[in-house]
Homo-oligomer: A and B are copies of this chain.
Amino acid sequence: MKKIVNDPELVVEEMLQGFVAAHPNDVKQLPNTTVIARKDAPVSNKVGLVSDGGSGHEPAHAGYVGEGMLDAAVAGEVFTSPTPDQVFEAIKAVDSGQGVFLVIKNYTGDVMNFEMAKEMAEAEGIRVQQVVVNDDVAVEDSSFTTGRRGIAGTVFVHKIAGAKAAQGGSLEEVKAVADKVVANVRSIGMALTPCTVPAAGKPSFVLEDKEMELGIGIHGEPGIERKAITTADQLATELTQKVLDDMNLSSGDEVAVMINGLGATPEMELYIVNRKVSEILSDKGFKVYETFVGNYMTSLEMAGCSVTLLKVDQELKDLLEVQSKALAFRR
């Protein structure tokens, strides 16, 4: 295992310390928790937004904390859901009386722990609503999940629900727009190499020298198919088609595109993928509203990428444009 770490058991805590040391004017770590919150949380008269996830997906989730996106991110251990008490601390820290909205990726542990945290918060009189993101079209059930998994499309939920909250939207309005994003966003990923959880010390799975896996999850959960590596164009075609097959787009519809790197894939390759994805969309008569290329939702040092399409209408486009000061999504 070649990693730049100290104690593999302490990577999350040390990462969070390094994060706060890097951005002390933007964020704070809640004492004795793994919660990173906006420095100025709770923000008065605003619905608070909380997201979470196991660590190892950086910049998700702390990188999306900031004005216009999340108020707090709860970090679990690597690839492990945060505990309910940690989520509860985050909820309390961002509630200004307008209620708190939770963005949850559809993994069994995350959903269960957020539900428990929600009950704890409601018992203290805090209004809580939530959305469960399940954008991954690859498989219906998987090792971590009942139903479809939540992957890179979650970043669009953070952005758009965060913008709605920043504009003063009510808890119900934030939920409505988050539900709209979830209904209109689809993704699929693929990997060339596995990744290694530091505390495990060895790769989570094995891929042969010339092999890739389509539909893999962001924790290395099994996908649809292992096969010989194809060209970038063939790959982009296959991924885009699988996403489109699950959407109901008509000629003239507009989409936002995210070509997401899983951690170790050079930006060069992501742009080569985008070249073909944008060509396919154009050939089919769909209009690309905006394209995001980079490492948005990673799996440690996994090599691979995912393709996300979000069908946008005027409301979603307007919310995408709203200023964000989140470190990993500035606009």
Q: Which range holds the interface residue count of chain A?
A: 35 or more
With beta carbons under 8 angstroms apart, the residue of B257, B271, B295, B331 that contacts A15 is B271
Tell me the chain A residues, 243-298 only, with Cβ under 8 Å from chain B: 257, 259, 263-276, 278-279, 288, 291-295, 298
CB proximity of A208 to chain B, nearest CB, Å: 10
Each complex incorporates copies of this chain amounting to 2
Task: Determine the chain B residues whose CB is within 8 A of the CB of A19 once the complex forms.
Answer: 271, 274, 293
Task: Determine the chain B residues whose CB is within 8 A of the CB of A266 once the complex forms.
Answer: 56, 58, 263, 298, 300-301
- Whether the pair A11, B303 counts as a contact (CB closer than 8 A) is no
- Whether the pair B56, A2 counts as a contact (CB closer than 8 A) is no
Task: State the CA gap A192–B1 with chains docked (Å).
Answer: 10
The answer to whether A193 has its CB under 8 Å from any CB of chain B is: yes
Task: State the CA gap A193–B254 with chains docked (Å).
Answer: 41
- Whether the pair B59, A267 counts as a contact (CB closer than 8 A) is yes
Task: Determine the chain B residues whose CB is within 8 A of the CB of A22 once the complex forms.
Answer: 257, 259, 271, 274, 278, 291-293
- Given A266-B263, A269-B4, A298-B267; A18-B231 close (CB under 8 Å): no
**Can you add 8 more A-B contacts, CB < 8 Å, to A18-B273, A330-B331?**
A6-B232, A17-B275, A21-B274, A21-B278, A23-B291, A263-B264, A264-B264, A266-B300
